[in-house]
């Protein structure tokens, strides 16, 4: 009797939701998978080192090297910052002395590019491990044999990787802020962050994180290994690099409004790609490689 | 009520047919085995029934659900143990099972109780803190079976590829499967190459060969269909000639008989003739012999057809 009661309880608990029932964004099973994915990603020594080193290298070491170089290297007499660069800076930068002007130019024109590499790289790296490694190690099949819907598995994986990437991006922004503060103390004039940075951190970085994760999910059926999947990071970074290099030509200025519009457009693309990737996330396609050697 | 059904089920991978027009019915509470060689289509059948693949043609169902479209609902009521479905290498056995219990919606305390029961029953409780990478294949197979049974499924689909069944694993798995069938009323579909092992657990069989169903039914039906007969086997005193019609095979005087009802008469005849009879027994053919007979019959029929042409 006790056994049948327990069986009943377990089966009721395992009962999937019926049509028409109010569905939570993430069920308890989905949340468990999100937690497992985030924990497993962080537990991987190589990936953890990558996720920690990349942001530090991009938003701490590179600015430190730059600010040190600009502060310590001798300035030739009569050296001036090119007018074209000065025209790209905010109006408050007008009339700044040589060293100070280059510091502001670096902060305004190059640091956003370095910062945006963080969500892209961390999201692509974590998604590669969460999706491709799971398939390589044969645990995807086990996951697809649970009472979780295959779409819920996709949602949970995307959520886990995006959250991890957004958290790391947030931490990177804090580190960058601290670096700027210290650099300001040394140079004697504080380097303040503009409104552009608010848009970058709160809108564009999360949108880029989601885009990178969904992109890896989209090409999942075309890559054969985690290493191959990691190579996609190059394709993801390229458009951002091009965008910031185009800015240096003076064609456009990436101010808060332009960045907000870009973030909005990217969010729309995210939704479209998410649906496309979710549709392609089927057991038949995910376990495709096995069938070639299977026929048992 | 038939819990597992397949109607004209076919699956073709590229240009290679893995399963061709298979029909199957497994009633509730039965233990049924699909047996055959390495390329018989057993794993494909389990994958189709588990919703991991879609059939090229035909239909299949488990508990009235279409696995291709209602996989999540199906998995909440059915457990699937495949050897290719691995556990997480970064977690211990216990952590893996607790994770899968949670994902399947089993309340935490029930999950721990169930895990404890299954691991003890399969004799791998001592390995609970080990990671899968450090465990032998037999223990991993048992752990995979435990994972499939965490949520007390009504149906168990089990694919045993014949690689990890050491003696202890075979005994423990057999004990658990018999318990599940008798005590929990679980319907079992087992796919294996190990026919004698399946014979010790299941009461119904489907014989598969290169994706085709050769025959299905209980053992007696299959035996009669294959034309494999029972044998009367007598152990006589050293140097003694056997009764008429008996031939010496493996140290025993043997003779094919139509049914076991002939045994008393054969024994009384042997005794009446003054034969030094030490032992008399009924030798039943194994499922493997029946399977081979079906294969031979198929080849013979094929040769006859080719000869006619």
pLDDT tens digits, B175-207: 999 999 999 999 999 999 999 899 999 999 999
What pLDDT is recorded for position A1? 42
* Residue contact B71–A144, C-beta within 8 A: yes
What pLDDT is recorded for position B38? 85
Q: What value does the mean pLDDT of chain A take? A: 81
* Residue contact A283–B52, C-beta within 8 A: yes
Q: In terms of CA atoms, which chain A residue is nearest residue B36? A: A296
Disruptive mutation site among A7, A14, A34 for chain B (greatest number of B CBs within 10 Å): A14
What pLDDT is recorded for position A9? 46
What pLDDT is recorded for position B94? 96
Whether chain B has a CB inside 8 Å of the CB on A5: the answer is no
Whether chain A has a CB inside 8 Å of the CB on B85: the answer is yes
Length of chain B in terms of residues written:
309
Q: For residue A116, which of A289, A247, A287, A243 has the smallest C-alpha distance?
A: A243
What pLDDT is recorded for position A267? 95
Whether chain B has a CB inside 8 Å of the CB on A36: the answer is yes
Give A141's contacts in chain B (Cβ within 8 Å). 52, 82, 84-86
Tally A–B CB contacts below 8 A. 138
B212, B21 contact by CB (below 8 A): yes
* Residue contact B100–A291, C-beta within 8 A: no
Confidence of residue B239 (pLDDT cuts 50, 70, 90): confident
Which of the pair, A186 or B156, is modelled with greater confidence?
B156
Single pTM value for the model = 0.83
Which of the pair, A20 or B26, is modelled with greater confidence?
B26
Q: If you average pLDDT over residues A220-236, what whole number do you get?
A: 81
A266, A211 contact by CB (below 8 A): yes
Q: For residue B148, which of B198, B91, B88, B100 has the smallest C-alpha distance?
A: B100
Q: If you average pLDDT over residues A252-272, what whole number do you get?
A: 90
Q: If you average pLDDT over residues B66-90, what whole number do you get?
A: 93
Disruptive mutation site among A130, A145, A292 for chain B (greatest number of B CBs within 10 Å): A145
What interhelical angle do A256-280 and A205-218 show, nearest 10? 20
Confidence of residue B218 (pLDDT cuts 50, 70, 90): very high
pLDDT digits (tens, 9 = 90+) for A208-222: 999 999 999 998 888
ipTM: 0.86
Which of the pair, B85 or A3, is modelled with greater confidence?
B85
Residue B128 pLDDT more than 80? Answer: yes
Which DSSP category does B176 fall into? H
What pLDDT is recorded for position A144? 93
B58, B18 contact by CB (below 8 A): no
Task: Please give the full DSSP string across B220-239, using - where no structure is assigned.
Answer: HHHHHHHTPPEEEEEEE-TT
How far apart CA B73 and CA B118 sit, in angstroms, is 23
What stretch of H or E contains B12?
strand B2-13
Written as six digits, the tokens of B165 are 């069944």
What pLDDT is recorded for position A295? 38
Confidence of residue B309 (pLDDT cuts 50, 70, 90): very low
Most confidently modeled range among A247-256, B65-74, B266-275: B65-74
B45, B6 contact by CB (below 8 A): yes
Q: If you average pLDDT over residues A11-27, what whole number do you get?
A: 54
Q: If you average pLDDT over residues B239-246, what whole number do you get?
A: 83
What pLDDT is recorded for position B166? 86
For A284, the closest of B38, B54, B85 (CB atoms) is B54
What pLDDT is recorded for position A10? 46
pLDDT digits (tens, 9 = 90+) for B253-292: 888 888 888 889 888 888 888 778 888 888 888 999 999 9
pLDDT digits (tens, 9 = 90+) for A51-77: 889 889 988 999 889 888 888 877 777
3-state secondary structure (DSSP) of residue B248? strand
What pLDDT is recorded for position A7? 46
Written as six digits, the tokens of B245 are 């019609």
Residue A291 pLDDT more than 80? Answer: no
What pLDDT is recorded for position A20? 47
What pLDDT is recorded for position B32? 96
Written as six digits, the tokens of A264 are 């909005």
3-state secondary structure (DSSP) of residue A180? helix
Give A152's contacts in chain B (Cβ within 8 Å). 72
pLDDT digits (tens, 9 = 90+) for A89-134: 777 666 777 777 888 888 888 888 889 999 999 999 899 888 888 8
Counts of helices then strands in chain A (DSSP H, E): 17, 0
Written as six digits, the tokens of B14 are 């590229």
pLDDT digits (tens, 9 = 90+) for B32-41: 999 998 889 9
Residue A6 pLDDT more than 50? Answer: no
Give A287's contacts in chain B (Cβ within 8 Å). 52-53
Which of the pair, A181 or B93, is modelled with greater confidence?
B93
* Nearest chain B CA: its distance from A32 CA (Å): 7
Q: Given the DSSP bridges, would you call strands B155-160 and B78-81 parallel, antiparallel or unpaired?
A: parallel
What pLDDT is recorded for position A136? 85
């Amino acid at each position: 009797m006790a056994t049948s009661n327990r069986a009943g309880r377990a089966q009721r608990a395992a009962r999937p939701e019926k049509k028409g029932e109010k569905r939570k964004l993430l069920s308890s099973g989905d949340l468990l998978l999100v937690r497992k994915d985030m924990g497993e990603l962080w537990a991987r020594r190589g990936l953890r080192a990558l996720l920690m080193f990349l942001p530090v290298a991009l938003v701490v070491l590179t600015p430190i090297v730059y600010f040190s170089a600009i502060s310590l290297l001798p300035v030739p007499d009569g050296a001036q910052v090119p007018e074209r660069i000065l025209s790209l800076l905010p109006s408050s930068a007008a009339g700044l002395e040589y060293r100070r002007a280059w510091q502001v130019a670096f902060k305004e024109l190059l640091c956003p590019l370095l910062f945006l590499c963080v969500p892209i790289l961390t999201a692509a790296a974590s998604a590669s491990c969460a999706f491709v490694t799971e398939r390589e190690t044969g645990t995807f099949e086990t996951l697809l044999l649970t009472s979780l819907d295959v779409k819920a598995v996709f949602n949970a994986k995307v959520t886990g990787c995006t959250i991890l990437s957004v958290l790391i991006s947030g931490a990177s922004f804090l580190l960058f802020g601290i670096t700027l503060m210290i650099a300001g103390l040394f140079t004697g004039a504080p380097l303040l962050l503009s409104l552009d940075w608010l848009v970058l951190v709160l809108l564009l970085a999360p949108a880029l994180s989601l885009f990178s994760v969904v992109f890896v999910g989209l090409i999942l059926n075309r890559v054969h290994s985690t290493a191959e999947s990691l190579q996609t990071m190059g394709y993801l970074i390229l458009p951002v690099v091009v965008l910031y290099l185009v800015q240096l030509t003076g064609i456009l200025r990436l101010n808060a409004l332009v960045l907000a519009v870009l973030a909005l457009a990217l969010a729309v693309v995210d939704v479209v790609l998410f649906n496309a990737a979710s549709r392609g996330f089927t057991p038949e396609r995910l376990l495709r490689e096995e069938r070639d050697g299977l026929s048992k | 009520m038939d819990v597992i059904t397949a109607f004209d089920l076919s699956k073709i991978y590229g240009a290679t047919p893995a399963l061709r027009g298979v029909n199957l019915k497994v009633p509730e509470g039965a233990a049924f085995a699909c047996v055959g060689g390495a390329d018989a289509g057993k794993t494909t059948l389990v994958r189709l029934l588990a919703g991991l693949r879609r059939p090229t043609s035909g239909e299949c169902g488990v508990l009235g659900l279409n696995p291709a479209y209602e996989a999540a609902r199906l998995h909440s009521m059915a457990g699937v143990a495949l050897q290719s479905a691995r556990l997480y290498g970064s977690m211990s056995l216990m952590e893996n099972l607790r994770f899968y219990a949670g994902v399947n919606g089993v309340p935490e305390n029930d999950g721990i109780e169930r895990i404890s029961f299954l691991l003890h029953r399969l004799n791998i409780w001592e390995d609970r803190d080990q990671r899968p990478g450090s465990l032998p294949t037999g223990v991993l197979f048992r752990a995979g079976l435990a994972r499939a049974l965490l949520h007390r499924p009504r149906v168990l689909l089990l694919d045993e590829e014949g690689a990890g069944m050491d003696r202890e694993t075979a005994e423990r798995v057999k004990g658990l499967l018999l318990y599940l069938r008798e005590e929990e009323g679980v319907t079992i579909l087992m796919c294996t190459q190990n026919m004698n092992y399946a014979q010790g657990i299941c009461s119904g069989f489907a014989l598969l060969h290169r994706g085709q169903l050769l025959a299905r039914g209980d053992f007696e039906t299959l035996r009669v269909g294959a034309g494999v007969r029972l044998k009367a086997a007598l152990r006589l005193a050293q140097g003694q000639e056997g009764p008429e019609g008996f031939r010496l095979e493996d140290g025993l005087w043997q003779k094919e008989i139509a049914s076991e009802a002939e045994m008393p008469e054969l024994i009384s005849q042997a005794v009446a003739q003054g034969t030094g009879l030490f032992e008399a027994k009924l030798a039943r053919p194994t499922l493997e012999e029946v399977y081979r007979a079906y294969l031979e019959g198929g080849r013979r029929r094929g040769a006859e057809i080719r000869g006619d042409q």
